[in-house]
Amino acid sequence: MLEDEIKEKSSKIFRDAYQMSIGELMNIYRDGEMDIHPEFQRVFRWTSYQKTKLIESIMLNIPIPSIFVSQNEEGIWDVIDGVQRLSTIFQFTGLFKDDEENITDPLILEKTDYLPSFENMTWETGKKQFTREQKIGFKRARIDVIIVKKESDPNTKYELFQRLNTGGTQLSDQEVRNCLMIMTDRDFYKKVLELSDYHYFNNCVPITDRKEDEQFKMELVLRAQIACQTEIEILRTYTDLSELLDKETIKLASSIDKINEFSPKFEQIFGKLSSALGENSFKRYEDNKFKGAFLVSAYQCIVSGAILNFESFIGLSDDDLKVKIQKLYQHSEFIENMKPGARAIPRFISLTNLGKDYFE
């Protein structure tokens, strides 16, 4: 059985491997035949010194890791792993464009232990520039490129991206998910980002700086959309919440209509919550007052219920909504799902169903 499984899955992945010169990669990028997702710069943040060390490695003929790309139906290369390496090379050589198609400021190198003369060195824009011989040597340096061909299973590039960018890195689950959204549909990613920055939403979700850095607000937006636009029976097929969020996000990102339907409701609901409760919207209510930190369980239940019962929720007065949420903390099923140790998927489903019934 294991052998059959291996044969079945491996037969769905078609790939080639080449050694390519940096000059060839520069030409491919310049001609618009490679997408390195400039939006990834929000996630993959290298310092100027880290970038300098890459250029140093190339000049000293030190091997650098392979680049992985996925080839689409038009032959365009979608970079799966190696975004920061390629963007550093293209920034240094004056080619790199940001997400608005503007050429970014060229990289100015720093001195290193091996190459102290690198300090303030540029490709061709500053007082200290690479010589013609150095440029030729740089462009002739070679990098291994692994190409996942268009005949492969469509999900291969997402699976490969996750495997290559979660082991040994410090990316949060949501930062990886953000990259998956960008790879699927940039407009979907931008819409989720816009909702996570919505001022009424931010009024209601006071989270820690660490959670903010991990892009947790974007996860909260996706949790709400997935809960309201995914069949419960599909949710039950998962055993891991992170996998559920990853795969269902990719599905939702494949249909921009769904988030266009979801967004206005989300915004109006948080306008309502901000007016009625503000930063207390998802805090525990006990001893006749709201207290403590933001609760994901409260968010899951209240926001799911609000969207699934949009008209009746919006129709509540601020005072009635406040009382309704206060009473939620006395509900036996809600109390049960707030206990530590509850399994993530059953809790996700239970809180979604409870919210739907409670705010009906």
Burial readout 77-110 (b: 16 or more C-beta within 10 A, e: otherwise) = bbbbbbbbbbbbbbbbbbbbbeeeeeeeebbbbb
Q: Shortest CA distance to 78 belongs to which of 68, 88, 86?
A: 68
Question: 29 near 107, Cβ under 8 Å?
Answer: no
Q: What DSSP state is assigned to residue 66?
A: P
State the pLDDT at residue 183: 77
DSSP string over 3-28: HHHHHHHHTT--EEEEEEEHHHHHHH
Residues 262 and 144: their CA atoms lie apart, in Å, by 43
Q: What's the chain's Rg over C-alpha atoms?
A: 24
Q: What are 275's strand-pairing partners?
A: none
Question: 138 near 163, Cβ under 8 Å?
Answer: no
What's at 185, amino acid-wise?
Answer: D
Question: Long-range pairs for 157-163 at CB < 8 Å and ≥24 separation?
Answer: 157/70, 157/78, 157/80, 157/183, 158/183, 158/184, 158/246, 158/250, 160/68, 160/70, 160/80, 160/81, 161/80, 161/81, 162/246
Burial readout 3-22 (b: 16 or more C-beta within 10 A, e: otherwise) = eeeeeeeeeeeebeeeeeeb
Per-domain residue ranges of the chain: 2-148, 172-358
Question: 68 near 79, Cβ under 8 Å?
Answer: yes
Burial readout 172-199 (b: 16 or more C-beta within 10 A, e: otherwise) = bbbbbbbbbbbbbbeebbebbbebbebe
State the pLDDT at residue 265: 97
CA distance readout (Å), 316 to 37, 269, 275: 43, 11, 12
State the pLDDT at residue 168: 46
What separation, in Å, do the N-terminal and C-terminal C-alpha atoms of the chain show?
A: 48
* pTM of the shown model: 0.73
pLDDT tens per residue, the chain (360 residues)? 666 555 555 545 566 788 999 999 999 999 999 988 766 655 567 889 999 999 999 999 999 888 888 887 788 888 888 888 999 999 999 999 887 788 989 999 999 999 999 999 999 988 899 999 999 999 999 999 988 765 555 566 666 666 666 544 566 788 878 878 877 888 898 899 999 999 999 999 999 988 887 889 999 999 999 999 999 999 999 999 999 999 999 899 888 899 999 999 999 999 999 999 999 999 999 999 999 999 999 999 999 999 999 999 999 999 999 999 999 999 999 999 988 887 899 999 999 999 999 998
Residues 330 and 221: their CA atoms lie apart, in Å, by 26
Residues 159 and 143: their CA atoms lie apart, in Å, by 23
State the pLDDT at residue 150: 58
State the pLDDT at residue 170: 62
State the pLDDT at residue 186: 82
Question: 276 near 322, Cβ under 8 Å?
Answer: yes
State the pLDDT at residue 339: 84
